[in-house]
Structures are given as structure tokens and as C-alpha cells.
Amino acid sequence: MSDHFSGPRALSEPAADITDVYAFPAPDSPDHLVLVLDVFGKSGPSAVFSDAVIYRFRIRPVEIAAMGPDAAFAPSQNEFTFDCTFDVPSGRTDSGRPLQQGRCLTPNKRTISFRTDDENGGADGSVQVFAGQRSDPFFLDVRMIEKTAATRKLAFKPKGSDTLYGTNILAIVLKFEWRKVLEGGPLFAVVCETLAAGKRPVRIERVGRPEIKNVTLSWKQFDQINRDLEIRDLYNSEDAFDLKPDYFDVYRARMNANLAFHDGLDGKIDWPFDQHGDHPLTKLLLADFLVVDASKPFAEATYFEIERSMLERRTHVTPGGRWLNQDFMDFLYTLYVNGGNGPPINDGVDAPIAWSSKAFPYLAPPNPAKASAA
């Protein structure tokens, strides 16, 4: 749930509030790519998808445009989308949850129908779709993250408290043979969006990389230029593949400030700013899409490996992307604070309440109500 509560406007429709996006080669089938979109963090048992929202997966082939300090991606203009929509609930599932019919419009304009919470989902040739409530695969200690920002000192305890322990999300899982469904590759950039349905769908939120809007952009106090500005709704409204120049410097300044704050948490500078006055990660992170190499075999802790290899002028060896249960906060704080030049930083939370499966639909079944209170 790395992107939960990531902008005031998203709060008004919880079923449009994206919590996380994942992209990984299928552990159970090397020819398939899996994309996961989670919404509605901490959802109770009655949670359902909105019938007024389009849940969109956007995928573009991407090239590595530059290596070294100027590392950058060059996404293609060629785009493939999966759009999922849902009906008003009718009846109940076997578990007593509201039952919804859903549809997924694939890039080749075929429509796959499915019922929510059905673990087999819907399928059409090379595409399989699941949608329903599952256990949130993310884990972190939010209180200590907030304390770290408030005290300007790493506040993690050896044994932390998982803020998401026992909580559920609504997930949409796509599994497809990428060579049949997409063109180009094997490197793909993935962004997920929620849009208000209608003749001219309006973007409500977008997510590519984890913890960009929350940990990396939300803190205002370190930003000397726009200290009072809540930029996340603005950021959400932008096209991830085509950031408008109008506000780019606003995002850049906020990200530079917050990355510099994190870099200083261990009392030394591991990420000196470049000649343009930017943190070395700013440009890569503002390319806010998950990059996954669909040709590489599945692996678990692979987020940002492609980007790291680009910065270090070497060829990546993993699929990159993002697996469901990577210990992301440990990775993120280690990356931001010491760039891997120091000891790994542990946030004290090392596992979710339930590990994800290596078989479709991958995410663990939903936790029983009140498991979190225990």
C-alpha cells in the first residue's frame, strides 16, 4: 500500500485510490507477464470496485536512452492498454461479499468477462484476469516513517509494527503472453491509472513507481521553494509518459529536497547533486513508470535493478519491475540514505501477514475481518 492516501482528491473515492502497482514475469510461466493494480487500501469486507471508474493499465515498449549519470529511458509512442470496468453489485459471492461482474478490454479490443473474487478469473486465449479482495502484500511501519521525517533521524526499531498487518485491498491481476499481446519489448514501461468514466475520461490517479507520491514527494517541510504546496493531486493529473513542462520544476524541486533530506539521515552525502543542481535519482524517479524486462526469469527482489545498472553503466540481469512481497521499504531507505554504500537499513518489518503465491492470482486471499486489530 505504498501509494495509499496519496492526495486529497483520491480520498473522496476509495475505490479509485491506487495503493500499489506491480509488474513481474509470471513465476509459473516464463512466457507470461503479470501486472497487478491494487486500490482501496485497508478496505473492509463490503468493499467493491466503482462502476464509474476505469481501471487502466498502460504499457509502452521502452528503450534505455542513456547510461551513467544521465541515465534515462525513452518510452515508445506505441501504447497498449487494458481497461477494466465493473457493474453495480448483484447478489453475493460464496463468502458473502457483494458480487460484481467485470470486463477487461484488451489491447486487441477483445472483452474478457469475469466475476469478482473468482480465483480463476476470466480468460481469453493468452490473457487471464482476476479482480477481487486480497490480502495487502505490502508491509511497512508508517509511524516510524513519519517520525523519521518529523525528527530528521532514522526512527526505525529493530522490531517494527506493520501498519498494514491483516489489511486487505481490491486487486486486479492481469497475466498475459506478452509476445502475443504486446509489440516490441522485452523492456516495457508500466503505469496504472484510475479514470472517471464518461465520454472524456478524466484521470483521477496514476501510479508507476512505489512510494513516489508519499515518501518521496509528500513531505513539504524540506522544500524551500514550494513549502506550502500539496502537489500530489497535480502530479496525479499528469500523463506519466508526457509530463508537462509547466510544473516539472515544482516536482523536481520537491524531489530534490526530499531526496537530499533522506541522503543526509546517516550524516554523510552519498548522492552529491549534479552540475544541474539535481539529485542523481531525480530524473529517473520522475520517469514515474515501472520498467520490467519481460524476457528475464522471475526473481523476487528486483525493483530498480535496471535503473541501478544504468547508473553504473552495466547491463541489467534481472527483470526489474516489482514483485509483490519485496521488502520495499528496506530497499528504499537503503537506496535513498546511503545508496548501498553503507549497511542495509531495516525498518523492522520484514514480512507481510501472508506471503503471496507463485500461482495465479498470486496475491494471498483476504484476511478475515478484524485480523488487523489482533
Partner 1 sequence: MIALSEISIPAVCPALGPPALTDGAIAVLNLGAQIDGLEGHGTSAEAATLIDLLILRGLTLGRISDYERAAQLADRLVHDAAADAAAYMARARTRAVFHRFSEALDDLDHADRISPQDTPAKQERAAILQALGRYDEAMATYEDVADRGGQFEQAGALAGLWADRGETDTAQRLYLEGLRTYRGVSPFPLALLDFQLGTMWMRHDRLDQARTCFDAAIRRVPAYAAAQGHLAEVEADLGEPEAAIARLYPLAASSDDPDYAAQLARILGEMGRNNEASGWCLLAANRYDELTAAHPEAFADHAAEFWLGVGNDTPKGLRFAEFNLRVRKTPRAYDLLARALDAKTAEATAARCFGGQ
Rule CB under 8 A: which residues touch partner 1? 5, 9, 11-16, 40-48, 50-53, 88-89, 98, 142-143, 146, 163, 167-168, 196-199, 202, 204, 369-370, 372-373
User: By C-beta, is 236 or 356 nearer to partner 1?
Assistant: 236
User: By C-beta, is 146 or 249 nearer to partner 1?
Assistant: 146
Q: Are 218 and 30 within 8 A, CB to CB? A: no
Supply the minimum distance, in Å, between the C-beta of residue 366 and partner 1: 11
Closest CA to 132 of 124, 122, 123, 142: 122
User: By C-beta, is 202 or 351 nearer to partner 1?
Assistant: 202
How many helices (H) does the chain have, and how many strands (E)? 7, 13
Supply the minimum distance, in Å, between the C-beta of residue 89 and partner 1: 7
User: By C-beta, is 117 or 307 nearer to partner 1?
Assistant: 117
Supply the minimum distance, in Å, between the C-beta of residue 120 and partner 1: 24
> For the chain, what percentages of helix, strand and coil (3-state, to nearest 5) are there?
20, 25, 50
Supply the minimum distance, in Å, between the C-beta of residue 42 and partner 1: 4
Query: Rounded distance, CA 168 to CA 170, Å?
Result: 7
Q: Are 133 and 47 within 8 A, CB to CB? A: yes
β partners of residue 55 = 84, 194
Supply the minimum distance, in Å, between the C-beta of residue 46 and partner 1: 5
User: By C-beta, is 89 or 264 nearer to partner 1?
Assistant: 89
User: By C-beta, is 9 or 179 nearer to partner 1?
Assistant: 9
Supply the minimum distance, in Å, between the C-beta of residue 14 and partner 1: 5
Closest CA to 20 of 253, 274, 356: 356
Closest CA to 45 of 4, 96, 86: 96
User: By C-beta, is 123 or 196 nearer to partner 1?
Assistant: 196
Supply the minimum distance, in Å, between the C-beta of residue 347 and partner 1: 15
- 3-state secondary structure labels for all residues of 9-66: HHHHCHHHCEEEEEEEECCCCCCEEEEEEEECCCCCCCCCCCCCEEEEEEEEEEEEEE
Q: Cell 553503507 appears where?
A: 342
Query: Rounded distance, CA 358 to CA 28, Å?
Result: 6
